[in-house]
Structure 1
Amino acid sequence: MDQFTNFTRKVSANLTPFAEKVGTNFSQLRQIATEKMSNSAIITELPREYVETENRFEPVKHIHADLVRLARKYALDEGNVDFNKLQNQFIEITSSIGEKITNLASQNPQQQNTQNQTQNAYKPLNVTIQHQLASACISNSEIVGASLYKFGSTYEKIGDFRVKMNHDILENCINLLQGEFTSNIELAQKSRKDVQGARLALDALKSSLKGASSSKQAATAIEIEKAEEVFIIAVQDSMKHMKFVLGSPIIIESLRNFAAAQLEYFKESQSLLETLVTELEEIKLTQDALYYSEVDHH
């Protein structure tokens, strides 16, 4: 008998919170329906400061989501980079830059060509449009000559810098936005839902007071006082979480890091391209002289 009594007590203890939750949700849903269908429904007004804070928080929430989405798209470089492999590719490429330069400096053209063919057999998937352009030029450099090889080599380096920029954006912008800051936004968003739930529960009780019998009015009034306290606490808690997000420097820091990564990439690319243009101009002048000399002989 004692075992049966303990069992029923445990079942009752488990069912009571569930029943209360179902009852609360039903009351809130009924209140929502009443507010939509009736112009005279009781709706507790939210504090002005809370509404103003919400109006400031909402755009920041959307800006955060847009920045993460666009930064990911930018860093993925037209979908050629696997997001999960980006860091490994960056380490692999940068570690081979010094080795490439050393090998090219110590080998004659025939050895360089053999080495390039060997490396191409193990070369990972081209990770940027610059790497693809470099591969196309270097693999066909024998046909056009030194100019195409120089062009391809330069764009391979630019591609390496692009991968570094992608990595920097991943580490210093996207990860920064998706870390603790995202958790803070989610916490603030949850607190807003808690305010909405507390407000609906309060107004549902206020509505029930109208049709309550005299014997139940006193008990309902006490429940309303408790619901008002819950509502006030929920509003204060939500404002605290939203203001914490609004005061955070994370978005500004992420934008700064994004711009800094781009600046480094464009500066390095400019330096490489200036050298390339000068070298190609010299090759062109030499080719012009040879070409027109042949034409004159004909």
Structure 2
Amino acid sequence: MDNFKAFGAGLSSLGAQITPFASRTFQYTKEQLGQSDDKTELPPDYIDLEKRVDALKQAHQKMLSVTTQYSHESYDYPPNIKETFQDLGRTVSEKVNLLGTATTPAEAQAALTAPPSAKPQPKTFNHAIARASLASSQTLHQQHTGAGEDPLATALEKYALAMERVGESRLSQDAQIQSRFLAGWNTTLNTNIMFATRARKNVEKSRLNLDAIKSSAKGMTWKLPSGGQDPTAPPQQQHELSPEAQEEIEKAEDEFVTQTEEAVSVMKNVLDTPEPLRNLAELIAAQMEYHKKSYEILSELAPLVENLQVEQEVSS
């Protein structure tokens, strides 16, 4: 007998959970079909907040769809380049040091194809230029038969070292952007804005529940016309509600107000936080540092190459 009572209580509990959901679903369907004229309107200020949060979400999604590329090392690596495992085995700096100790063409070739000492070298455009420049430099050196060094070969080697430094600076920029911009914007999108979305769903749920209760209460108070009224005329709605129905409506209204106020608070917090702007400033700072470093590296290199050019012109 006790088991039967427990089973009955379980069914009652389940029914209590299903009924509000079914009522909200029915109310939502009526609204979509245009059969509900008493939809509770949300405050204009609330609607404005929703629009602003939606705009913020779209801005985050759009920016992240592009800037996420900073998480992929090879985003600027040309797809037509065919580099071998040996090409990627050592850094350009390591190869230049090994070449500096080579005394024969065979030793120079061995330096270029030395087994890797660490992980494969980065696949960035700058690193690829550096490797191509060093390989081109060695090709010219090996075929140079005149006195001294081939000036173009010397310039290409210096350019290779500079490009490798630029490439390392780019990787440093990417790491800063990942930690200081992408992480923050992903958190805003997937946490803060998600909380706002959840709060808005709670408002919509409470609003549908309120309107469903109102509709049900009004429906229960309909009564057929009497006396000399036309029996085929539509039923007239009685404006007076029972105390129970009025209490249920007031309870639903309180819940709706509570959820709306909570959502307003959450959305304002999302919109007022300076974190996205701070993250954007970090993105700009990382880019600025990278371009500044690149400028400094190339500024050091340019006069060296120009001097080699002038010396070759004078000697020719």
Fold agreement, TM-score > 0.5: yes
Give the drift of 1:162.
0.3
2:246 is matched with which residue?
Answer: 221
Q: Find out whether 1:264 has 2:260 as its counterpart.
A: no
Identify the structure with the greater helix proportion. 1
**Distance in 2 (alpha carbons) for counterparts of 1:242 and 1:13:** 40
> Residue 193 of structure 1 is aligned with which of 201, 213, 237?
201
| TM alignment of 1:1-298, pairs within 5 A | 2=2, 4-5=3-4, 9=6, 11-12=7-8, 14-38=10-34, 41-76=37-72, 79=75, 100=93, 104=97, 107-108=100-101, 110=103, 115=111, 117-118=113-114, 122=118, 124-144=120-140, 145-179=153-187, 182-213=190-221, 217-290=242-315, 293=316
Give the drift of 1:15.
4.5
Give the drift of 1:272.
0.9
Q: Which segments of 5 or more consecutive residues in structure 2 lack a partner in the other structure?
A: 78-89, 141-152, 224-240
**Distance in 2 (alpha carbons) for counterparts of 1:12 and 1:155:** 77
**Distance in 2 (alpha carbons) for counterparts of 1:58 and 1:268:** 38
Amino acid in the other structure paired with 1:274: S
**Distance in 1 (alpha carbons) for counterparts of 2:255 and 2:121:** 58
Q: Which segments of 5 or more consecutive residues in structure 1 lack a partner in the other structure?
A: 82-95, 294-298
The SS at the match of 2:279 is: helix
Give the drift of 1:285.
2.1
Say if 1:105 and 1:229 are closer, same or farther in 2 by CA, change over 3 A: same
Say if 1:19 and 1:80 are closer, same or farther in 2 by CA, change over 3 A: farther
**Distance in 1 (alpha carbons) for counterparts of 2:207 and 2:129:** 60
Give the drift of 1:168.
0.2
Contact 1:34 1:41 in 2 (8 A): no
Contact 2:53 2:193 in 1 (8 A): no
Give the drift of 1:262.
0.4
Amino acid in the other structure paired with 1:27: S
Amino acid in the other structure paired with 1:224: I
**Distance in 2 (alpha carbons) for counterparts of 1:36 and 1:180:** 32
Contact 1:130 1:159 in 2 (8 A): yes
**Distance in 2 (alpha carbons) for counterparts of 1:272 and 1:119:** 29
Give the drift of 1:261.
0.2
Give the drift of 1:180.
6.3
Q: Which stretch shifts more, 161-170 or 18-27?
A: 18-27
Cα root mean square deviation, aligned: 3.2
Give the drift of 1:125.
4.5
The SS at the match of 1:44 is: coil
Taking structure 1 as the reference length, the TM-score comes to 0.79
Contact 2:73 2:171 in 1 (8 A): no
Contact 2:196 2:266 in 1 (8 A): yes
Q: Which stretch shifts more, 241-250 or 18-27?
A: 18-27
**Distance in 2 (alpha carbons) for counterparts of 1:220 and 1:239:** 28
Identity %: 27
Say if 1:162 and 1:118 are closer, same or farther in 2 by CA, change over 3 A: same
Contact 1:199 1:231 in 2 (8 A): yes
**Distance in 1 (alpha carbons) for counterparts of 2:130 and 2:281:** 30
Amino acid in the other structure paired with 1:265: Y
Give the drift of 1:26.
1.9
**Distance in 1 (alpha carbons) for counterparts of 2:286 and 2:178:** 10
Amino acid in the other structure paired with 1:202: L
Show CA shifts across 1:172-213 (max 9, x none): 111122236741211111000110111111111111222214
